[in-house]
Structure 1
Amino acid sequence: MMQGRGLARIVLIAAVIAGASYLYVVANHVSGPLAVTWKGAGVALLAVYAALLARNADGWLIALVMAFGAIGDVLLDAQGLLEGAVAFLVGHIVAIILYLRNRRSILALSQKWLATLVLPLAVLTAVWSVPIESRPIVGIYTGFVAAMAAAAWISRFPRYRTGIGAMMFVASDLLIFARMGPLAGEAWVSFAIWGLYFGGQLLIVLGVTQTLANEDPARLSARPDCGY
């Protein structure tokens, strides 16, 4: 077990290095197979990290979420927007299942409001940002992303990691859509998109895996609420 955690820690460090260093690709507009591989490496390593720590269904679900994220990263550049979006969509559905399996038993009113409002606000922002012909598909996709974030926010996983990470994911996607409209040509947007996306994925996987690792196995079925 200790050796497995040691290996997982090494993989996590490698994931952070791969994800952070991808900003070099963004800054220098690098393209080609190396850039595509580099882009997928960070979240793929997060999937490996989660898999190394997985001890139950929830652990494997978060590994699967990261795996589909990595597939989406690669397909976006190697195949196209639609193929990448489908992979991310599957990952969001898996994430929603994970978070709803782990709902908090008690929610503050402010937490309920945020979880309720994130979906309509995100969808409205997204569709406003893109051309009219793109609005139906963008709205549907954004609905799934926002539903994932809402489910993460009301889950028992820490809001200051998994919850905020999911919201960062939403913000990253909204910037992608804004780059198609009001923020077209703004150089800083590409850096913000990747920083929010990879940082969000990192916080999500850390919040889930650390919560699961710290649990008393005898209490797994009880699913206690987790703190911030």
Structure 2
Amino acid sequence: MKKHIVCFGDSNTHGYCAKTGGRFDEDQRWTCLLQKKLGEDWLILEEGLSGRTTCFDDPIHEALSGLEQIYPCLMSHEPVDLLIIMLGTNDTKERFGVSPECIALGLKRLIAKAISTTDCWKDGKPSILVITPQNIDPRYENSEVGGTMGKGCAEKSQGLASEYQKIAESMGCFYLDANKVVTAQPNDVDFMHLTEEGHRQLADALAGLLPQILC
């Protein structure tokens, strides 16, 4: 059986393209590029939803809490060899009123829920890779999303890496900071979504990392 890799994230996993308002295609999204790089012995499962948070209910849009969706997601893809979680960008929105430390605690709740979904894991062994998303550029405040995102999002996003690493280590997860491998700047439309080059760089990094995790 192929190795099942569930990629659980937000719009940057779904593949939102800020320049078109649509979605990057199968030759551009990091998930699809990763599939091509790893080959037919791997199955990369896209579970990206725009607006998704770690555990916070959005008062404006429904069904965006990752905590509420992780169980059915994992069970629908069992047996799962590895869960990749890349969330936190949406948690920085001003309307949630949470700090980087609280966002990390939301991530911890999500990880705990995933680990407790015992029937989904191949051989009953949870395996999770936490990815800190690329930081939001401060220029987002003057973009088309500035009003809905609110103030302080860039500063919060910059504080996630250190907090996420501590949570990943304490929960027995693997860890990657996307800011260390994605050198391409965020797009110049909303300053918070990966560019096509950013997708490629993330896929390259994961193509090297995943075979080491699941050796």
TM-score (norm 2): 0.34
Higher normalized contact order (CA 8 Å, seq sep 6+, divided by chain length): 2
Normalising by the residue count of structure 1, what TM-score does the alignment of the two structures yield? Answer: 0.32
Whose strand fraction is larger, Structure 1's or Structure 2's? 2
Indicate the structure (1 or 2) with the bigger Cα radius of gyration: 1
